[in-house]
Structure 1
Amino acid sequence: MIFRALIILSFFSFINCENGKSELPPAVLGYIALDYLILTDPDRSSVYFSTVRSVDLEVAYETDAEPFTGNYAIGGSNIWSVTDSNLQDVFADRGYSVAVTVPTDLSEMNEIPNQNRSSWSVNQLLGLVPKYRKRTSDFQSTSFFIMYVRGQLADAPGVIAVTVSGILGIGPPVIFVFKDMIDQFDSISPDKVEKAEQITVTHELGHALGLVNAGIPLYSSHQDKEHGNHCTNESCGMFWALSGTKVETFSPASPLIFGQECRDDIRNYNP
């Protein structure tokens, strides 16, 4: 299991995926089986950036953990236009069109019952997926599943959100957003918490797509190996932590959060 997370960087301190017997050796059989699983898995970067022609988001939320929707108080643009703009940019300039569908209203998202948890293990989070995920991906269409929950990750209480993939990265990535952690940004100012949430969602979608060096190869050396699949550029949305300063200076009028290094990775990836 592989998981990648974004954590809060506070102003003062850090807050912390009957044929008969074969004559091939078992190790070789294992490699063959793994190779087969990889080739039949549509949820991987090499598929997203080759045969896929439509991408959508399925968003579910626990009661009282609903995502922010509507328009920003300043500028008036739709809150989810940040995620939409970044996904549109990800699939731009590829020589073919990819239709991107992002929900913008709670009526387009799915409410699930209150789970009455203040902390979660990764396995408990994953237990929600077969109950509430409705869509699947294939080699032409990709659907990313995002679930908002209350509480926090038990072993990493500073985590704002986490992207979990299957064993060896095989299987659909699932994004979990911890609403209680997002709400901490409300102490900065009311309109900043919506920005923090959208930066977080876009960051996790970056992981799901294969950033940084997690499916999409590096075009230049910018992986922060100390913090896993994150970018060394502190102004990039794929930096490992989200600071109050970054949220304050972010403008939905200029919604692209990925730095040029990550965008170059994507533009130069042609599987």
Structure 2
Amino acid sequence: MRTLHFVFVLFLAFVPYSCKKDSDRRIRKFHRQDVGSSANDILSDKKYKSITIEIIYMTGFQPTDQAVENLKQLVTNVCNKPEGIHVVLREIVAQGKSSYSIEDVKTIENDNRQEFTYKKDLATCFIFLDGPSAENEGSAMVLGQAYFNTSMVIYEKSLKDNAGGFGEPELYKLESTVINHEFGHILGLVNLGSTMYSSHQDTAHGAHCDNTDCLMYWEVETGNVFNNLIGNSPVPAFDENCLRDLKENGGR
């Protein structure tokens, strides 16, 4: 009887540990899907009633408060989340790399991300880096990228290097434009998980809108956007076609 009892206790101790490990793997697997594949989950309230936005930034490269607030407002406006939008900011040590590949970014997320989808709360993640994209070529710059269904990176150093000076846009404007654009991709825009209800995809530039005034125009995530934000120019917004795509996919 003692032997049976001893084995039984070990079995009970082992089962929760194993289940927890299996659960952790499932949670992480959920956040490693294609961009746009979770658009309906993010937009609608069918499965998830709230959104947590985790912002991981390297020391010295925290986004401006106004850009964070603008992101929160955009998500509130287009997503059906009756229990709210929650933002969590966390600082990590700057790595000082000369550039970052997407594989570098994925490693940083894997090592540092702490917010994951749980019960009725869906988690998304932004990473703000202290260096440029490894995909930059000459004067052509990549300012941000969505790379998983809930994951986005912002090359904050590139934004800071091109904002706030004479003839340059204000930093919060540039941040808001790029941040909101990347969030638009995980919302399934354009034709990336949220079905188009009229033809407006700029197929020459992938999952982007053909309206030059729309937030989802392709130049928004590249250095070509700088001149468009100077002076009194507003932060771009989703156009009517993009808004309809979001609404038809469960959004507000």
- Please say whether Structure 1 and Structure 2 have the same fold, judged by a TM-score greater than 0.5: yes
1:47 to 35, 41, 46: 41
Whichever residue aligns with residue 61 of structure 2, its letter is: A
CA contact (8 A) 2:197 2:241 kept: yes
Change (3 A) 1:270 1:113: closer
Q: Which has the higher strand share?
A: 1
Aligned to 1:173: 150
Aligned to 1:205: 183
Structure 2 residue 230 is matched with structure 1 residue 258: no
Whichever residue aligns with residue 51 of structure 2, its letter is: V
Aligned to 1:247: 229
Change (3 A) 1:258 1:182: same
Structure 2 residue 63 is matched with structure 1 residue 80: no
CA contact (8 A) 1:60 1:112 kept: yes
1:99 to 76, 84, 89: 84
Please report how far the alpha carbon of residue 91 of structure 1 lies from its aligned counterpart in structure 2 after TM superposition. 1.8
Cα distance in 2 for residues equivalent to 1:82 and 1:143: 18
Whichever residue aligns with residue 146 of structure 2, its letter is: T
**Pairs aligned (count):** 208
Aligned to 2:57: 61
1:269 to 218, 230, 249: 249
Whichever residue aligns with residue 177 of structure 2, its letter is: I
Aligned to 1:135: 115
SS at the partner of 1:88?
helix
1:233 to 193, 211, 220: 211
SS at the partner of 1:120?
coil
Aligned to 2:131: 151
Change (3 A) 1:109 1:190: farther
Whichever residue aligns with residue 145 of structure 2, its letter is: V
Aligned to 1:182: 159
SS at the partner of 1:203?
helix
Q: Which has the higher helix share?
A: 2
Please report how far the alpha carbon of residue 234 of structure 1 lies from its aligned counterpart in structure 2 after TM superposition. 0.8
CA contact (8 A) 2:169 2:229 kept: no
Whichever residue aligns with residue 198 of structure 2, its letter is: S
CA contact (8 A) 1:56 1:101 kept: yes
Cα distance in 1 for residues equivalent to 2:206 and 2:153: 18
CA contact (8 A) 1:52 1:98 kept: no
Cα distance in 2 for residues equivalent to 1:187 and 1:222: 35
The two structures, once aligned, show a CA RMSD in angstroms of 2.5
Please report how far the alpha carbon of residue 190 of structure 1 lies from its aligned counterpart in structure 2 after TM superposition. 7.3
CA contact (8 A) 1:62 1:111 kept: yes
TM-score of the superposition, structure 1-length normalised? 0.69
Cα distance in 1 for residues equivalent to 2:86 and 2:166: 31
SS at the partner of 1:127?
helix
Please report how far the alpha carbon of residue 192 of structure 1 lies from its aligned counterpart in structure 2 after TM superposition. 1.4
Residue by residue over 1:156-210, the C-alpha shift from the partner in whole angstroms, topping out at 9 and shown as x without a partner, is: 3510011112xxxxxx431111112112132356771211101111111111121
Cα distance in 1 for residues equivalent to 2:119 and 2:242: 24
- The unaligned stretches of length 5 or more in structure 1 are 1-36, 70-77, 103-107, 166-171
- The unaligned stretches of length 5 or more in structure 2 are 1-25, 32-36
Please report how far the alpha carbon of residue 80 of structure 1 lies from its aligned counterpart in structure 2 after TM superposition. 2.6
Q: Which has the larger radius of gyration?
A: 2
Structure 2 residue 69 is matched with structure 1 residue 89: no
Aligned to 2:13: none
Cα distance in 2 for residues equivalent to 1:98 and 1:214: 26
CA contact (8 A) 1:148 1:178 kept: yes
